[in-house]
Structure 1
Amino acid sequence: MAVCARLCGVGPSRGCRRRQQRRDPAETAAADSEPDTDLEEERIEAGAAELCSEWSGRSSSPSPPPRCSLLELPPELLVEIFASLPGTDLPSLAQVCTKFCRILHNDTIWRRRCREVLHRYRHILGLWQPDIGPYGGLLNVVVDGLFIIGWMYLPPHDPHVDDPMRFKPLFRIHLMERKSATVECMYGHRGPHNGHIQIVKKDEFSTKCNQTEHHRMSGGRQEEFRTWLREEWGRTLEDIFHEHMQELILMKFIYTSQYDNCLTYRRIYLPPSHPDDLIRPGLFKGTYGSHGLEIVMLSFHGKHARVTKITGDPNIPAGQQTVEIDLMHRIQLPNVESLCNFNELSRIVLEAQEQVRQEQQRQEDRTEDGESSGPPTEVREPENEGAAPLKEEPVQFVLPVGVSSRNENYPRTCRMCFYGTGLIAGHGFTSPERTPGVFILFDEDRFGFIWLELKSFSLYSRVQATFRNADAPSPQAFEEMLKNIQSLTS
């Protein structure tokens, strides 16, 4: 019992922590408020290494039972034991041996730590979208060692769409305290400093820095802004002045306010996957003309696929559905020689657009006549069941003459093409409209879209990072999330 008490971090009068877990939360809180005993102090001074040797070497009778070391216990039991210990003692325990260190990186321990010690923050693990004007963003909150850390994910520098994502820490929460948690702001170049997190509701929270002077540089705002441009864009102010002149004022406002003020985050989910999906859905990086690279989400919805912006720009803000693909209408591209002619591609796309319009009109007429609202008989079933599309032989692909692309290193073969529409708008999301285009499937991890009216091409490459605690609890929850983030910018 003494050993059990030591492992659980309590004295004899307080009982075994593992039994305490079955108590009412109020009883557990009352027990934790009692003063520590001498046995508790002895356990802290001795450390976890003494516990191991004491367990294995104890002998209290002439005929002792077989000795058992903590190292011989199965990992599942060690996880349960370690999860019951105070967080302040876990770093010392991790130094005992490699096995203990490895077990202490188990998510089960830290998820329980979030529930018991940091119950206020147990809902913030996962993916979030910050409310930064039209720009949005992607925040991943994870357990990382002895901290909960919020990592802001950034796309590669334009136009290197196939490069890995960049990321930087925005805040962290210490997991070692027994009764409280320390929140630190990680933004700026002067190291961690005091911050604050407020849980607004289950799927929303906000952060605030309490020491914004740590964000300042000795050279003032001009040095800070130039440093931000180098880090975020990979270019100098002079390089982008002429190309992005209209956006510089907005960019400066975003830079000076996004982390100094209270910033709100709203939960987002990864799209659910289905065996009949054209490719695996998920997050992608895409080129958007002079706006650089942005993060989008590809999801499938029956006979359509959608590309939703996770990050945005002053024209099309984050949360908007930038591209919609009609999986019922494949487009057969001409040979490479004919494809070089933009007029030929335009003719093919406009024919598909007219076919879609006629089918929609017939569907409306059938509905008005009181008939079934099911699909009209003229519509063909899609030919992309299961993984079959990617088994098709690739065909040569080249951009038509006159179509602009920020990335000339696009694939020269493609697997399938579909009719789609893209969302365009003026500065400030004025006069938005959907215009026809071509969705090009290159492979499992890359696709593109030709904007017919803009005569431009966007290349998308899959985000290869792994995100935990980001799956939607149900397809309905994912659909509701999409509606919520779109409504914020409508």
Structure 2
Amino acid sequence: MAVCARLCGVGPARGCRRRQQRRGPAETAAADSEPDTDPEEERIEAPPSPPRRSLLELPPELLVEIFGSLPGTDLPSLAQVCTRFRRILHTDTIWRRRCREEYGVCENLRKLEITGVSCRDVYAKLLHRYRHILGLWQPDIGPYGGLLNVVVDGLFIIGWMYLPPHDPHVDDPMRFKPLFRIHLMERKAATVECMYGHKGPHNGHIQIVKKDEFSTKCNQTDHHRMPGGRQEEFRTWLREEWGRTLEDIFHEHMQELILMKFIYTSQYDNCLTYRRIYLPPSRPDDLIQPGLFKGTYGSHGLEIVMLSFHGRVARGTKITGDPNIPAGQQTVEIDLRHRIQLPDVENLRNFNELSRLVLEAREQVRQEQQGGRHEAEGPEHGPHQEPAEDGGKPGDAAAMATEQPGPSSQGQPFVLPVGVSSRSEDYPRTCRMCFYGTGLIAGHGFTSPERTPGAFILFDEDRFGFVWLELKSFSLYSRVQASFRNADAPSPQAFDEMLKNIQSLAS
């Protein structure tokens, strides 16, 4: 009966709820006033509550598992709770897991035992201390810019300078060279080494200016010098960078060679500043996956460009630049609202035919812009709300592009018009679609910059091209096939702000 009472929720002395329902009000009141005299019910009591256990009472192996699943930044505070926690947090298993999960370190513990360095030292004195410099950066080297990727590589943090392939092999993989590395030579502190030069690693210095900016300095620039002086350095650099001798290529690229050599000798002798860059955010309805591309730029060779989508506009921003168009400038801008229907191959060979189609698209854009201004200024139209900068919501352009008539996803035959120059003849012979766009041209030193009309040619997911109408030249772009960690923007707003910053520095 007591068990039944507890299950029904009326207590051990109240009887079954079903029996109470059969009684009248008077009987129920009388029964409630009677004392409980059942000896069996007096002996049965409610089970006691389970005792509360402290975290301190858990076995050490369980605490190691719990602590190892927490972020490493929380563990120092946990060590201040008590002596037992502090002792357990000296277990290297915890810190090895944090190094692996937070920074991708998968080194064998034996390698650390040989050097006398613990995983806790690696985490606290190397990874956590220099976490702010991991990711992609653009060096401040005049108009040339560049792409630096700082990564955790084994028990090192290494800064790799990414370089485009040799001109004009745009589809070849990127080249990269180490500029600096950081590692634990002993348990006291991390050591920074400069990797540039011909005498091996030597002493360097890194200063984190702020969250999105840091600087490097070589403390032993004599390691950059060769016994034969500048001339020998120059010839060695040509063999390494171009695979050819000075006499073979000097007459073709004299100015560019001198300026590029200036980057890799004089500039790296001094303090260099790096500013963070992010990879563009991706949306499901983008025309193609945004990212980094290698592009041909006439006598300037190959350069790195970042393709990003902003509603109905796509932009190509230079990560590396040249004396004409510096890094940070928007080299091409594509109006995804205006698709160009290319003619058949025979008519496409005629440059005048392509020029006519592009100029017609430009005139349509001009009329739409004028119509928008008149509508905004005309009082007879009443209040007018200015459109967004890019004229639409994200994804509108891709949707509009697919709605317009055109070739199938397999593409249509493509050939460059006669008279249009190209650094590489190995461009795709089929394309998916074409849009109106503008390309930025300027004189030496970024003088008299001007946006001129052109045609954006989408070949496939990893390649696109741009026909510069005024220059009668063609640039081919191929995707950089590399995985970059710690390079995603925390938000679309942060990416847009980054673009504005690098462009303002280039102006």
TM-score w.r.t. the length of structure 2 is: 0.75
Query: Matches of 2:303 and 2:163 in 1, distance apart?
Result: 8
Give secondary structure in 2 for the equivalent of 1:383.
helix
Return the offset for 1:237.
Answer: 2.2
Report the structure number with the largest CA radius of gyration.
2
Q: Given residue 171 of structure 1, which amino acid in structure 2 is its aligned partner?
A: F
> 2:342 aligns to what?
333
> 1:320 aligns to what?
329
Tell me the matched-pair count. Answer: 424
Q: Does 1:282 align with 2:291?
A: yes
1:148 and 1:175 in contact (8 A); partners too: no
Give secondary structure in 2 for the equivalent of 1:384.
helix
Query: Matches of 1:439 and 1:335 in 2, distance apart?
Result: 17
> 2:435 aligns to what?
418
* 1:92-117 deviation line (CA, Å, top 9, x unaligned): 26689xxxxxxx9xxxx79x945555
Write the mapping of 1:394-433 to structure 2, written as runs, cut at 5 A: 394-433=411-450
Name which of 166, 169, 182 aligns with 2:191: 182
CA 1:116–1:390: 2 relative to 1, 3 Å:
farther
CA 1:449–1:117: 2 relative to 1, 3 Å:
closer
Q: Does 1:301 align with 2:310?
A: yes
2:313 and 2:333 in contact (8 A); partners too: yes
Return the offset for 1:21.
Answer: 5.8
1:117 and 1:178 in contact (8 A); partners too: no
Query: Matches of 2:188 and 2:411 in 1, distance apart?
Result: 60
What is the CA RMSD across the aligned residues, in angstroms? 3.8
Name which of 58, 79, 90 aligns with 2:97: 79
Return the offset for 1:427.
Answer: 0.4
Return the offset for 1:383.
Answer: 2.8
Q: Given residue 477 of structure 2, which amino acid in structure 1 is its aligned partner?
A: Y
> 1:63 aligns to what?
none
Query: Matches of 1:389 and 1:452 in 2, distance apart?
Result: 22
CA 1:253–1:26: 2 relative to 1, 3 Å:
farther
Q: Does 1:209 align with 2:226?
A: no
Name which of 103, 107, 110 aligns with 1:92: 110
CA 1:136–1:93: 2 relative to 1, 3 Å:
closer
Query: Matches of 1:234 and 1:471 in 2, distance apart?
Result: 35
> 2:250 aligns to what?
241
Return the offset for 1:80.
Answer: 5.3
Write the mapping of 1:21-100 to structure 2, written as runs, cut at 5 A: 22-24=75-77, 79=97, 91-92=109-110
Structure 1 gap ranges (5+): 9-16, 29-39, 49-69, 71-75, 97-103
Query: Matches of 1:410 and 1:211 in 2, distance apart?
Result: 45
Give secondary structure in 1 for the equivalent of 2:161.
strand
> 2:49 aligns to what?
none
> 1:373 aligns to what?
386
Return the offset for 1:234.
Answer: 3.5
1:287 and 1:293 in contact (8 A); partners too: yes
Q: Given residue 193 of structure 1, which amino acid in structure 2 is its aligned partner?
A: H
* 1:384-414 deviation line (CA, Å, top 9, x unaligned): 369x999623100000000000000000000
* Amino-acid identity (%): 76
> 1:228 aligns to what?
237
Structure 2 gap ranges (5+): 1-55, 65-69, 82-89
Return the offset for 1:461.
Answer: 0.4
Give secondary structure in 1 for the equivalent of 2:353.
helix
Q: Does 1:472 align with 2:485?
A: no
Larger mean Cα displacement after TM superposition, 131-140 or 361-370: 361-370
CA 1:422–1:194: 2 relative to 1, 3 Å:
same
1:83 and 1:113 in contact (8 A); partners too: no
Return the offset for 1:27.
Answer: 6.4
2:293 and 2:304 in contact (8 A); partners too: yes
CA 1:19–1:77: 2 relative to 1, 3 Å:
closer
Give secondary structure in 1 for the equivalent of 2:238.
helix
Write the mapping of 1:244-263 to structure 2, written as runs, cut at 5 A: 244-263=253-272
Query: Matches of 2:366 and 2:352 in 1, distance apart?
Result: 21
* 1:339-383 deviation line (CA, Å, top 9, x unaligned): 101011101100000000000111111122342324899x99953
Give secondary structure in 1 for the equivalent of 2:352.
helix
Q: Given residue 244 of structure 2, which amino acid in structure 1 is its aligned partner?
A: R
1:327 and 1:382 in contact (8 A); partners too: no
CA 1:382–1:419: 2 relative to 1, 3 Å:
farther
CA 1:338–1:95: 2 relative to 1, 3 Å:
farther
Query: Matches of 1:348 and 1:150 in 2, distance apart?
Result: 46
* 1:436-465 deviation line (CA, Å, top 9, x unaligned): 000000000000000000000000000001
CA 1:197–1:346: 2 relative to 1, 3 Å:
same
Give secondary structure in 1 for the equivalent of 2:152.
strand
Return the offset for 1:144.
Answer: 0.4
Give secondary structure in 2 for the equivalent of 1:243.
helix
2:304 and 2:318 in contact (8 A); partners too: yes
1:397 and 1:412 in contact (8 A); partners too: yes
TM-score w.r.t. the length of structure 1 is: 0.78
Query: Matches of 1:448 and 1:197 in 2, distance apart?
Result: 39
Larger mean Cα displacement after TM superposition, 184-193 or 286-295: 184-193
